[in-house]
Amino acid sequence: VCRRSSGSGLQATLRDVGGYSEDGDRTEREISRLKARDEVTFDAFCHLRDAERTFVFYNVERAIRLSTGEVLHDLRPLVGIAPLPARPAGYLARAARKAFAGTQAEKAALRKKQRRELKAHYRLDPVWDLYKARLHASFGDHCFRCGAARSLNMTPYVPLAWGGALVPGNIHVLCPKCLAAKGDQQPEDFYSAEEISRLEPILAGQVGLMSFQWTWKRWNTSRHEQEVYVRELGVPDEIVTKMFHDPTYLDYVPDSD
């Protein structure tokens, strides 16, 4: 099925490619030739809720730029609409949580995919390192449960097994021991009311804390400007210098010329 629709400066061609979920309210669609502000055109593949006849922009759950693999968490700024407001903590009401229906292997694959996507949002590993450090710092660089300071893991608060994704607003930091103890339990079954009341404000501030927008216009300039841009993003000077001047450095940015 191909439909063409427009609105809010957005034009897109939609094609159903199946993949209806159990509850029947979600379908996978391919969106191609999506045209946005500034003549930005990209191909995308995403999940849409509800089979609307028109392309409902705010129902796009996730989009990936096929040319670069970049995950676009919020498409609204692309067409000149204000970004989504921060999601309040506890947004995923307990009643709305659904047990994960897939196998353990599928769950592991989904976990891996979510980690990859979260990281990809920050484009460059040194930028991701900054934001990861920021998130850890919001937990005092300790396991939320026991206070251990080593081998910390970022893990969903509402677990994947209950529909919780590894996305800002739902991430907390645990040591391996506490992570294993929590397993697939829902927060209310594992944490005390006191712990939850301490966690909620941290989670509520997380969307803002982790918000990051990569600007291709800044990147697609000269190598010198790229260096300036990365420095402005907050990457420490010594790392920026290695990124642009030390070809043996792991995160060295190759010269595109």
Least gap, CB of 143 to Zn ion (angstroms): 3
1 contacts: CB under 8 Å, gap ≥ 6 = 14, 15, 16
Least gap, CB of 191 to Zn ion (angstroms): 12
Residue carrying the six token digits 């660089």: 141
Q: Which of 121, 115, 49, 59 is nearest to 84 (CA)?
A: 59
Pick 3 or 142: Cβ nearer Zn ion: 142
209 contacts: CB under 8 Å, gap ≥ 6 = 134, 135, 138, 168
Asked if residue 63 lies in contact with residue 39, where contact means CB atoms within 8 angstroms, the answer is no
Tokens of 256: 């595109």
CB 192: neighbour CB atoms within 10 A? 9
Pick 110 or 179: Cβ nearer Zn ion: 179
Residues 121-150, interacting with Zn ion (CB under 5 A): 143, 145-146, 148
What is the rounded distance in angstroms from the CA atom of residue 98 to the CA atom of residue 18?
22
Least gap, CB of 140 to Zn ion (angstroms): 12
Pick 34 or 175: Cβ nearer Zn ion: 175
Least gap, CB of 141 to Zn ion (angstroms): 13
Q: Which of 208, 229, 232, 205 is nearest to 219 (CA)?
A: 229
Asked if residue 99 lies in contact with residue 92, where contact means CB atoms within 8 angstroms, the answer is no
What is the rounded distance in angstroms from the CA atom of residue 163 to the CA atom of residue 147?
27
Pick 155 or 226: Cβ nearer Zn ion: 155
Pick 79 or 178: Cβ nearer Zn ion: 178
Pick 7 or 183: Cβ nearer Zn ion: 183
Instruction: Give the contact letters, 171-200, x = binds to Zn ion (CB under 5 A), - = no.
Output: ----x--x----------------------
137 contacts: CB under 8 Å, gap ≥ 6 = none
Instruction: Give the contact letters, 19-48, x = binds to Zn ion (CB under 5 A), - = no.
Output: ------------------------------
Least gap, CB of 159 to Zn ion (angstroms): 16
Based on the shown chain and the rule CB under 5 A, indicate whether residue 89 belongs to the binding site for Zn ion: no
Least gap, CB of 184 to Zn ion (angstroms): 17
Residues in contact with Zn ion, counted by CB under 5 A, come to a total of 6
Pick 137 or 146: Cβ nearer Zn ion: 146
Least gap, CB of 147 to Zn ion (angstroms): 7
Residues binding Zn ion (CB under 5 A): 143, 145-146, 148, 175, 178
